[in-house]
Amino acid sequence: MRFLLRDVILWDCEMTSPVRGDLVVEDRVIRGPFGVGEGEGELLLDGGGRFAVIPGFFNAHTHVAMSLLRGFGEDLPLMEWLNDRIWPAEARMRSEHVLAGTLLASLEMISTGTVAFADMYFFMDQVLEGATKAGLKANLSRGVVGDDPAKLEDGVGLVQRLQGDRFIGSLAPHAPYTVSPDFLSQVARRARELQVGIHTHWLETRWEVGYIRDELKFDPVDLLIRTGLMEARWLILAHGVWFEERHMDQLARDNVTVVHNPSSNMKLGSGFAPVPAMARKGVRVALGTDGAASNNRLDMWQEVRSAALIHKGVTGDPTVVSAAEALKMATRNGAVAMGFHRSGLIRDGFCADLVAVDLRKPHYLGVQEDSLLGYLVYAGSSADVHMVMTDGQVVYREGCFPHLDAARIVQRAHRSRLELVGRP
């Protein structure tokens, strides 16, 4: 099937500026872009210059099943939140809960422009099932807390099962404060043997810096190097709030991505990642929402806006983290971080992972091609998402999910939440 998106405003991070034209989607991939009136196919969207089409968002760090725990443990610091609220509730989770939470999260992610996510959790076959039903792409990993060889091998098994275009597997030691250096080395060795990546939390809080220095007797980046984590095929370092300027040159590697989670970090009082310093030194930065229990949204559009604003305020420099840079973090950088190298750009032959944005809303009054990015990031929101496509399949359009029964998903998630926390 050959579909046509006619007369839309197109942008990706490798374009010098947005362009108006036609886009064709054929056999799951992009054909074009073409000039206005030059594309051919079954008309899917007649833009009339009133819609923007951009790459879909890649949520590079989350725990989607935690959508069931949203609002459970508010206004607490990270370690108290984990120990007293989250981990006890997660101990009651069963596989059916994880599937219910994944499907609930998928409704939210799809409707706000996300086409793929990187997830670290457990019962990952259920996360895979939910993502498959929703039509999302994913980088999936079985989180390992404690030096547990059985959990590591469970993660290895997952990686070996995920050998397709839409799903990629990583190994996932939870964090340096929950997994020993020796075990981190074991994980790194297995990742090298399998030629896969690693997804881990790193330097989310100031406390963690002291723990690595005083208890483990390492510098945080030296620990990455000594354990071999830096030699993984790809390395997703979630948060990275407390990296220092002296670390940047070592982090500026093709296989390393720091995932900035601005909303979660602010809500838990963890601080602000040094994103401007990372950008100056060429460190790849992607964006993530973290789980819905700590954000509390899975709305990547909010993360784009937050990333573009907070660093201006923190540094006193309105030129840092431009609208274009923030959108690049959420699109191409996230795709590369997760291993989807033929996504995140509007380029001929790339996967058709796209979002159409309705520019007819009142807050787009005055938008032109040369001002589009500023409007999208500073004035726009996920409420402007008109249509979402993954691998050439429409998964959301004008408030509807063609392949999902949203009411049934919410009802099932409601029952699961009651079983976990005892209240709606």
Omega within 30 of 0 (cis) for the link into 362: no
- In angstroms, what CA-CA distances link 238 with 207, 243, 253, 264, 292? 16, 12, 16, 11, 15
Write down the pLDDT at residue 424.
61
Closest by CA to 327, choosing from 285, 385, 383, 362, is: 285
Q: Which among 204, 31, 110, 56 has a CA at the least distance from the CA of 404?
A: 110
The owner of tokens 């968002």 is: 57
Would you say the C-alpha torsion 121, 127, 131, 134 has a positive or negative sign? negative
pLDDT tens sequence for the chain (424 residues): 899 999 999 999 999 999 999 999 999 999 999 999 999 999 999 999 999 999 999 999 999 999 999 998 898 888 898 899 898 999 999 999 999 999 999 999 999 999 999 999 999 999 999 999 999 999 999 999 999 999 999 999 999 999 778 999 999 999 999 999 999 999 999 999 999 999 999 999 999 999 999 999 999 999 999 999 999 999 999 999 999 999 999 999 999 999 999 999 999 999 999 999 999 999 999 999 999 999 999 999 999 999 999 999 999 999 999 999 999 999 999 999 999 999 999 999 999 999 999 999 999 999 999 999 999 999 999 999 999 999 999 999 999 999 999 999 999 999 999 999 876 6
CA distance 416 to 69: 10
Q: Which domains does the chain have, with CATH numbers?
A: 2-56+344-397 (2.30.40.10), 57-338 (3.20.20.140)
Residues 6+ away with beta carbon under 8 Å from 237: 200, 202, 203, 224, 251, 256, 257, 258, 259
Q: Give the pTM.
A: 0.97
